Structure 1
Amino acid sequence: MALNSGPPAFAPYYENHGYQLENYPPGHLVNTNAYVPYPAPYCPSAVPQYIPRVLTHTSTPATVHLQPKSSSGIVFTSKAKKIVCIVISMGIILIGAVIATIFLWKFVKNSCPNSGIECGTSGTCISPTNWCDGISHCPSGEDENHCVRLYGPKFILQVYSSHNKSWYPVCQDDWNDHYGKIACKDMGYNMNSFFSSRGITDDIGATSYMKLNLSAGNVDLYEKLYNSNVCFSKMVVSLRCIECGTMTKVNRLNRIVGGTNAAPGEWPWQVSLHVQGVHVCGGSIITPEWIVTAAHCVEEPLSNPRYWTAFAGILRQSVMFYGSGYKVQKIISHPSYDSETKNNDIALMKLQTPFVFNEKIRPVCLPNPGMMFEPTQLCWISGWGATYEKGKTSDFLKAVMVPIIEPWKCNSRYVYNNMITPSMICAGYLRGKIDSCQGDSGGPLVTKKDSVWWLVGDTSWGSGCAKTNRPGVYGNLTVFTDWIYQQMQANR
């Protein structure tokens, strides 16, 4: 957590150390001319969004070097090496053309006629009406894997109707915890973590619901549900699959604004990820078995889960040295992660043995679809990263408050010049002085809304630490929530 001489006390100004990895693989000086301005406006309708649609403008590229915190450069000076580079580049271009041709052929070959939907990569096509109908039509059951979701800050349970091709809230009539546990299991949660299922007033003004048909007999939950315009209780189901986003030491939050050591019980979802006894990256607990971190943390040669150990509930690195930690069973990086641009910089770790939750170890909530935050929403970052650029990692967990920076500001020619994609969020102060730094990578960017702490992003990249007009960049968790649930479902 880098912290230069702080901004004026009356108004902390924009700044943030972008994400920078420790011991990052060499060769990540990026030519900004390679970045194509992202099409705008961009507003994926099926995922939650923090920031309203904004147009980004094209301008002369600024000189920016991506730094996942720990990079080293290799300088080539000889003419021979330049010739070799040219030959290699031409070869890469030719290989890329061949790969593109193959993918285009596969797309044309596997595209589904008559508005059918393809089952994953199997090439099997099914009718849209077969999705979420309670019967698996795809070879791997993809058509029944994402038929339930939690919506908005009140965790309203919604089920997808294959008949109407839309999401509907579930009426509280005849609902109970048993059905709630089934719905949570279908989202990838362990039923042992189930927290609550209750009816709340429908303040969204729904005109149609999914209701239980108790006379349907002993069949799949979704075969019991039917679409109805009537809900007698006038209440919808609020489902909490896990008790997340709670913190015991909320009375001490005002200490964090300047960037200070965390107190016991603060940021209980924060984990330290070690390789051979050394802190490398941070992460966030989302269930007893699962951790969210950054994909750049687990690139080769660190992609083997056996290398990693997670520590939670401990504030000091010097204390972790004497602990055994939690071994990692599986690592799943986002399939579209780009190691150069840091687009889709997110990964999941599944533990061999689950965390035991207590006051010092608790999960943070994943953002639900329908979550809306202010364009400059106040957030907090935490980690054991360096306290200054190229410095050593901190022994003590530190945290600091940073506001989200609107995309049009972060994509301006004076900041990151259209390098920020919809899968990224900028946060910090454009003036500098406060930021994440080397060693904070993969750690949480969180905010509090409706008395719940939500995981807004994971620390991804930045140009240096706490530099003027070089704020921190974070993976946009709202874009990845569906992907996270899919991985949890597939790897229960």
Structure 2
Amino acid sequence: MTTSPYLDSGSCFIGEDVERNLPPADGSDVQPQYVHHMAPKPPPEISSKHEGVKQRCVKFTVAAVICLLLLTLITGILLVYYFSSPCAHGRRCGDGSCVWESQWCDGEKDCPAGQDEASCVRLHGSSFLLQVYWTQGRTWRSVCSQDWSEQQGRASCQQVGYSRDTYFESGQQPTDADDGFLILKSDFNTTAPIMHQLVLSKTCHNNSVVTLHCTDCGRGLNSSRASGEQQAPPWQVSLRVGVSHRCGGAIISPYWILTAAHCVTWTSGAAEWLVYVGVVHLSDTLFNPAYSVSRIITHEGFNSITRGNDIALMRLSKPLHITASSDIGAVCLPNVGVYASAPEKGWITEFSRFVNTAAPHLMEAQVLLVDAANCNRSTSHSGKITPDIFCASATDAGMCHTDSGGPLVSLKDGVWWLIGDNIWGEHCKEPNRPGVYGNVTYFLDWIYHQMKKHQDG
């Protein structure tokens, strides 16, 4: 009998005890091997993970809803602010309050201090072109000369800031205006603000628009005057306390004198001051009448240390008599569009003296305007030059500065313009440090506002 090699080999691994422990042949109690590898995950774990996913979904949904509500709320607040706050699409008055854009220059004072109607009429360029701010188009427009009268001229000058009784003349000039003109209404009310008297028109007879001279200014001085000539310009004044000369100044209208703020801050009141016109020698006052001062207005932002906003106005008790034949005249405030820049020439007049001469007397010198960047160099004024001031160097280094407030004027298109008032600097002592002047153009709005505010004294 042949024995199987597989059984023989198998008998080496299976003994008697193993045979006794074998399971029954029917297989009813047979358990699969490696059960722990094939069994499904317990039901409690599956339920827990499903609940975690659900919770996260709920939390995400709640967060999304909250974010959406917050976004809607913020959008609503912004919309309410936009439609309820005039400053969102209007203008600020200057005291924190606001008015709608449509209320600006509409002829009605809506700002507490009237800022919305303060600068709605202006003169432009060397031709003194009258322009009115038109709210509907948010632009400046020329005024058609058709049906224009001296009455409208006086009212417009008063709107700028001049007194009615100092009005000089209206004129006209041809111009092109593709965007239209402002023209007088047929039923205008002469007592109403000029903005109420105008309507927009696409046409104007002969395209002729209004020019306006609110005071006779900028004339009566030869442009070829020699440096150092002893002749007082018609607008030059000597400001005195008693018999003592304190500062120079310039006539800008029959009622108003412009000077430096530091000249007047040390005195107690306007009654102390006297104004002399046409003075060449400081001792020569016998044939020059004195004019009293009713009000002094110093710029509210004046800083005596830095000399910032160093500008002041004096209002005379009675107007000066300015005529074509008079030696008294006003220098023009620079209209919008009239600019002076380096290296243009200008002229200064001040009560000064040449080196080694005796008593101060009125002198004139030509100056060259200096670029602010150059004037702010470390070798000059070391960054002290701000937009409200500028520099000019005298071409005659022998002229010494001894007083303040004197005018710096410029000649353009045959008109003399006041572009600066003397603040500080000594030309003869420090030639690398040019004189410093208040920038009159920078202060135009302030000047006109004060003149308008104090038209009645």
Q: Scaled by the length of structure 2, what TM-score is found?
A: 0.75
Deviations, residues 85-116 of structure 1 (Å, cap 9, x unaligned): xxxxxxxxxxxxxxxxxxxxxxxxxx974244
Q: Runs of 4+ in structure 1 displaced over 6 angstroms? A: none
Between the aligned partners of 2:183 and 2:429, the Cα distance in structure 1 is: 52
Q: How does 1:305-454 map to 2 (within 5 A)?
A: 305-320=270-285, 325-358=290-323, 359-388=326-355, 394=360, 396-429=361-394, 433-435=397-399, 437-439=401-403, 441-454=404-417
Amino acid across the alignment from 2:172: G
8 Å Cα contact 1:432-1:466 kept in structure 2: no
Between the aligned partners of 1:392 and 1:464, the Cα distance in structure 2 is: 18
Between the aligned partners of 2:268 and 2:337, the Cα distance in structure 1 is: 33
TM-superposed CA distance for 1:339, in Å, is 1.3
Please state which structure has a larger fraction of its residues in helix: 2
Task: Confirm whether residue 168 of structure 1 aligns to residue 141 of structure 2.
Answer: yes
Q: How does 1:51-66 map to 2 (within 5 A)?
A: none
Between the aligned partners of 2:234 and 2:257, the Cα distance in structure 1 is: 13
The alignment partner of 2:441 has SS state of helix
Q: How does 1:254-269 map to 2 (within 5 A)?
A: 254-256=225-227, 259-262=228-231, 266-269=232-235
Between the aligned partners of 1:235 and 1:242, the Cα distance in structure 2 is: 22
The alignment partner of 2:423 has SS state of strand
**Paired residue for 1:207?**
179
- CA, structure 1 residues 374+220, in 2 after alignment: closer, same or farther (shift >3 Å)? closer
Deviations, residues 187-232 of structure 1 (Å, cap 9, x unaligned): 12122222211110216x5533222122345643211212333223
User: Of 100, 103, 106, which residue of structure 2 is paired with 1:127?
Assistant: 100
Task: Confirm whether residue 238 of structure 1 aligns to residue 211 of structure 2.
Answer: yes
Amino acid across the alignment from 1:433: A
Amino acid across the alignment from 1:244: C
TM-superposed CA distance for 1:173, in Å, is 2.3
8 Å Cα contact 1:432-1:469 kept in structure 2: no
Between the aligned partners of 1:125 and 1:308, the Cα distance in structure 2 is: 40
Deviations, residues 61-92 of structure 1 (Å, cap 9, x unaligned): xxxxxxxxxxxxxxxxxxxxxxxxxxxxxxxx
TM-superposed CA distance for 1:279, in Å, is 0.5
Aligned length: 368
Amino acid across the alignment from 2:142: P
The alignment partner of 2:451 has SS state of helix
Identical positions, percent: 38
8 Å Cα contact 1:428-1:434 kept in structure 2: no
Amino acid across the alignment from 2:184: L
Between the aligned partners of 2:359 and 2:198, the Cα distance in structure 1 is: 53
Amino acid across the alignment from 1:147: C
Q: Scaled by the length of structure 1, what TM-score is found?
A: 0.70
**Paired residue for 1:279?**
245
Higher relative contact order (CA 8 A, sep 6+): 1
8 Å Cα contact 1:445-1:459 kept in structure 2: yes
Deviations, residues 126-153 of structure 1 (Å, cap 9, x unaligned): 2121011112222343322221000111
- Pair member with larger Rg: 2
Between the aligned partners of 1:435 and 1:115, the Cα distance in structure 2 is: 54
**Paired residue for 2:114?**
141
CA RMSD in angstroms comes to 2.4
Between the aligned partners of 2:127 and 2:398, the Cα distance in structure 1 is: 32
8 Å Cα contact 2:169-2:213 kept in structure 1: yes
Between the aligned partners of 1:267 and 1:242, the Cα distance in structure 2 is: 17
TM-superposed CA distance for 1:324, in Å, is 5.4
**Paired residue for 1:114?**
88
The alignment partner of 2:443 has SS state of helix
- CA, structure 1 residues 217+455, in 2 after alignment: closer, same or farther (shift >3 Å)? closer
Amino acid across the alignment from 1:401: Q
Amino acid across the alignment from 1:346: I
8 Å Cα contact 1:291-1:350 kept in structure 2: yes
Gaps of at least 5 residues in structure 2 are 1-84
Gaps of at least 5 residues in structure 1 are 1-110
**Paired residue for 1:48?**
none
Task: Decide which moves more: 217-226 or 443-452.
Answer: 217-226
**Paired residue for 1:478?**
441
Between the aligned partners of 1:243 and 1:323, the Cα distance in structure 2 is: 21
Amino acid across the alignment from 1:370: G
8 Å Cα contact 2:365-2:396 kept in structure 1: no
TM-superposed CA distance for 1:120, in Å, is 3.9
Between the aligned partners of 1:465 and 1:442, the Cα distance in structure 2 is: 18
Task: Confirm whether residue 184 of structure 1 aligns to residue 149 of structure 2.
Answer: no
Amino acid across the alignment from 1:208: G
Amino acid across the alignment from 1:287: S
The alignment partner of 2:318 has SS state of coil
TM-superposed CA distance for 1:464, in Å, is 6.5
